[in-house]
Amino acid sequence: MLGGATAVQRAWLSGFLAGLDAGAAPAALPAEAPRAAEPLTILFASESGNSERLASDVAKLARKTGFKPKVVDFADLELADLPKAKRLIAIAATWGEGEPPARAGRVYAELMGDAAPRLDGVQFGVLSLGDMSYVEFCAVGKALDARFEALGGRRAVERVDLDLDFEAGASAWIKGALETLAPEPSGAAGPAGNVVAVDFGRAAAEPNTGPVEAEVVEHVDLNSSRSDKETIHLALAFEGAAPAYEPGDSLELYPENDPALVEQILAAAGLAGDDALRRTLLAERDITTLSPVTVERFVKATGHADARRLVDSGEVRAWIAGRHLVDLLETFPAALEAGHLGDITRPLPPRAYSIASSRKEVGDEAHLLIAAVRYETQGRARAGVASVHVADRIRDGAKLKVRLKPNRHFRLPADPATDILMVGPGTGIAPFRAFTQERRAVGATGRSWLFFGDRRFTHDFLYQLEWQDALEDGSLSRIDVAFSRDQPEKVYVQDRVWEHRRDVVDWLEGGAAFYVCGDANAMAKDVRSALVRSYADVKALSPGDAEAAVTRLERDKRYLQDVY
Ligand SMILES: Cc1cc2nc3c(=O)[nH]c(=O)nc-3n(C[C@H](O)[C@H](O)[C@H](O)COP(=O)(O)OP(=O)(O)OC[C@H]3O[C@@H](n4cnc5c(N)ncnc54)[C@H](O)[C@@H]3O)c2cc1C
Ligand SMILES: Cc1cc2nc3c(=O)[nH]c(=O)nc-3n(C[C@H](O)[C@H](O)[C@H](O)COP(=O)(O)O)c2cc1C
């Protein structure tokens, strides 16, 4: 600053500064010279978009607070670049039974493997998302946190494991993490930054778009009355415009609990006279899930000695298998206060359903396809909260609260001339009905091939007439079906993929995109492995090369799945 000053200017400045030091007049401090913003890598592993959205929230807040953030999807991570990230925030969801989200799987396995690079000098913090009702709660976030440290990274921010109601916890963690990772204040020897004081309280993460009310205008069980399944086609109308959904998106549906179960819970807790609690339990609390944390909270609230022994002995994880909250309350009777049930339970989470329609065909409606979940455990009939609410207690004219859940990783090809293959057994067919409607509406010229499967042709062929129409009008080029119980041996969609492997590989070699939707545990894995075997057979590749061919499809975003 003084480099070009004359002797007179220097003398004037010296007097001015002396006056300041004497406290003669308060004056603004000279602004600190701006320096390069501190790079921050924000890595996310996401399936249904929650971690991805939080990663972008972190980036927005980080930008406002002096960082230069870079958001990286695990799926696109070059592992060799990771040691260059001196400050690292990882946000990871857990899927399957303690597994990483599908897209993240390949890089995650590399990170856990022997060839992973050292992370000396990397400061990190992990935020993990999960669902307390799963035994492997937040397993992926926990494993990442441990792995970063084992590779030499320094845990600058303690990990937090969050349940489905993660918004407030995530927001607080993000603010704390950015404060901790923030560059040293000016003048310090630490990393350069252009931020001196940061108001972390004000720069909050962006809120999610809120739920809206929908009216049920059609409620049809698509299975025949002689089927052992119940799959409800639900058409929703909205006051005004429908949420701006695209084919591939889902709607989250806010269910209500079974009133009969609410009565059982109230009776078991000795609170049958409390009407306010009855309403709260019906619409707001998760009164089915039983996790180790639920039992611990119950013990804390009641001091029940037998339940405490279960927790102390570590047997609780085995005991809760197949049991729900009502079993806990009935097995360990205790007089509860109304507040206790609030403390023990978590908020009732919404359930996601793939949208089965295109706005280009249905206007301001949205269609869902919901399979009723009914089963028996511990000698007791159980009902899925949301699906059975829809199947049993929702009819035409009923109101439902829903929220759009976009999925930008499950989109139709941008070019409508691209061929598509769609594998969607059971409710997995839902987004492909949306795809087909959309491609019909835009006059797509690419071919489309659907693989559908269910139990029986006569009773379980969902939307059968619509597929026939689609074949006739050309919006569907080909359909192959697998009805598992129509013949002595079981036949599934993956068997059809294998059977038609020459055509499947031919389409893919010609640039087609391959979509899978539905059951994650068995079907999605079996379909992928059928495709790997198909490549090996048709193109005479080694198993390793065939695997690499399918991995390439995934990396090119031509093998896409939306599985649950
Ligand atoms: C992105 C996405 C899209 C989805 N799209 C659809 C869709 O289009 N259609 C659709 O129907 N569903 C879809 N689902 C699944 C849906 O969100 C719900 O999980 C499903 O409807 C069950 O919810 P529920 O409330 O009825 O059951 P819940 O009350 O949540 O109960 C389900 C739980 O019950 C237990 N359970 C279920 N069956 C058994 C059994 N036989 N034995 C023991 N325990 C069992 C399991 O713990 C299971 O997690 C989707 C999920 C996601 C994440
Ligand atoms: C099919 C399925 C399986 C899941 N498995 C687990 C699990 O094993 N452990 C866990 O903690 N959470 C599990 N979850 C919950 C997710 O981690 C949770 O919904 C998370 O918010 C999803 O984040 P994402 O949108 O970034 O993928 C599962 C969710 C679904 C739908």
* Ligand 1 within 6 A of CB of 12: no
Q: Are 339 and 371 in a shared domain?
A: no
User: Would the pLDDT of 537 be above 70?
Assistant: yes
pLDDT at residue 196, as a whole number: 35
Question: Is residue 24 very low, low, confident or very high in pLDDT (cuts 50, 70, 90)?
Answer: very low
For residue 285, give the CATH number of its domain.
1.20.990.10
Percent of the chain at pLDDT > 70 equals 90
Q: Which residues approach ligand 2 with their CB closer than 6 A?
A: 46-52, 93-98, 101, 129-131, 134, 136-139, 164, 520, 564
Mark which of 298, 322, 344 sits at the end of a domain.
344
Q: Are 269 and 224 in a shared domain?
A: no
CA 94 – ligand 2 centroid, Å: 5
Straight-line distance from the first to the last Cα atom of the chain, in angstroms, rounded to the nearest whole number: 62
Strand, helix or coil for residue 404: strand
For residue 161, give the CATH number of its domain.
3.40.50.360
User: Would the pLDDT of 186 be above 70?
Assistant: no
pLDDT at residue 185, as a whole number: 64
Q: Are 514 and 554 in a shared domain?
A: yes
Model confidence, pTM: 0.90
Lowest average pLDDT, out of 28-42, 385-399, 425-439, goes to: 28-42
Q: Are 125 and 139 in a shared domain?
A: yes
Structural domain contains residue 196: no
For residue 476, give the CATH number of its domain.
3.40.50.80
User: Would the pLDDT of 187 be above 80?
Assistant: no
Lowest average pLDDT, out of 58-67, 122-131, 189-198, 274-283, goes to: 189-198
Mark which of 344, 362, 388 sits at the end of a domain.
344
Quick one: which atom of ligand 1 is closest to the CA of 47? 1
Q: Sheet harboring 478-483: ordered strands across?
A: 478-483, 448-454, 420-423, 513-518, 559-563
Q: Residue 240 burial (CB < 10 Å; 0-12/13-18/19+)? A: exposed
Spatial separation of the C-alpha atoms in residues 84 and 117, rounded to whole Å: 11
Structure confidence by residue, pLDDT tens digits, 125-175: 999 999 999 999 999 999 999 999 999 999 999 999 999 999 999 999 999
User: Would the pLDDT of 217 be above 90?
Assistant: yes
H helix or E strand, kind and range, residue 180:
helix 167-181
pLDDT at residue 1, as a whole number: 53
Q: Are 292 and 371 in a shared domain?
A: no
Q: Which ligand is nearest to the CA of 564?
A: 2
Spatial separation of the C-alpha atoms in residues 71 and 386, rounded to whole Å: 34
CA 46 – ligand 2 centroid, Å: 9
* Ligand 1 within 6 A of CB of 371: yes
Q: What is the mean pLDDT of residues 514-525?
A: 96
Structural domain contains residue 385: yes
Structural domain contains residue 30: no
Structure confidence by residue, pLDDT tens digits, 293-348: 999 999 999 999 999 999 999 999 999 999 999 999 999 999 899 999 999 999 99
CA atoms within 13 A on the CB side of 90: 33
Structural domain contains residue 190: no
132 CB contacts (<8 Å, ≥6 apart)? 163, 164, 289, 291, 293, 294, 346
* Domain coverage including residue 292: 259-344
Phi, psi dihedrals of residue 540, rounded to the nearest 5°: 50, 55
* Ligand 1 within 6 A of CB of 234: no
Q: Are 226 and 146 in a shared domain?
A: no
Where b means 16+ CB within 10 Å and e means fewer, 9-43 reads eeeeeeeeeeeeeeeeeeeeeeeeeeeebbebbbb
Task: Find how far residue 427's CA is from the centre of its chain.
Answer: 18
Q: Are 132 and 75 in a shared domain?
A: yes
pLDDT at residue 533, as a whole number: 98
* pLDDT mean across residues, the chain: 92
Q: What is the mean pLDDT of residues 542-561?
A: 97
* Three-state SS letters, 231-264: EEEEEEEECCCCCCCCCCCEEEEECCCCHHHHHH
Question: Is residue 183 very low, low, confident or very high in pLDDT (cuts 50, 70, 90)?
Answer: confident
**C-alpha dihedral, 178 to 179 to 184 to 190, nearest 10°:** -50
User: Would the pLDDT of 209 be above 90?
Assistant: no
In sequence order, what DSSP letters do the residues of 376-390 get, joined into one string? EETTEEEE-HHHHII
Structure confidence by residue, pLDDT tens digits, 426-457: 999 999 999 999 999 999 999 999 999 999 99
Structural domain contains residue 33: no
Quick one: which atom of ligand 1 is closest to the CA of 430? 8
Phi-psi region of 115 (alpha: psi -120 to 50; beta: other; left: phi over 0): alpha
| CA separation, residue 449 to residues 222, 378, 466, 558 (Å) | 22, 43, 14, 15
Q: Are 74 and 133 in a shared domain?
A: yes
Spatial separation of the C-alpha atoms in residues 311 and 307, rounded to whole Å: 7
Q: Are 294 and 364 in a shared domain?
A: no
Spatial separation of the C-alpha atoms in residues 361 and 264, rounded to whole Å: 44
Q: How many domains does the chain have?
A: 4
Question: Is residue 366 very low, low, confident or very high in pLDDT (cuts 50, 70, 90)?
Answer: very high
pLDDT at residue 5, as a whole number: 60
Q: Are 65 and 126 in a shared domain?
A: yes
Mark which of 328, 344, 360 sits at the end of a domain.
344
Q: Are 229 and 271 in a shared domain?
A: no
Spatial separation of the C-alpha atoms in residues 413 and 448, rounded to whole Å: 12
Question: Is residue 190 very low, low, confident or very high in pLDDT (cuts 50, 70, 90)?
Answer: very low
Task: Find how far residue 81's CA is from the centre of its chain.
Answer: 26
Choose which residue among 135, 136, 245, 351 to substitute to test ligand 1 binding: the one with the highest number of ligand atoms within 8 A of its C-beta.
351
Nearest CA to ligand 1 atom 31: 384
Q: Are 96 and 150 in a shared domain?
A: yes
Q: Is residue 264 within 8 Å of residue 270, measured between CB atoms?
A: no
Structural domain contains residue 279: yes
Structural domain contains residue 328: yes
Structural domain contains residue 22: no
In terms of Cα–Cα distance, which of 462, 516, 468 is closest to 233? Answer: 462
Spatial separation of the C-alpha atoms in residues 257 and 278, rounded to whole Å: 11
For residue 370, give the CATH number of its domain.
2.40.30.10
CA 407 – ligand 2 centroid, Å: 15
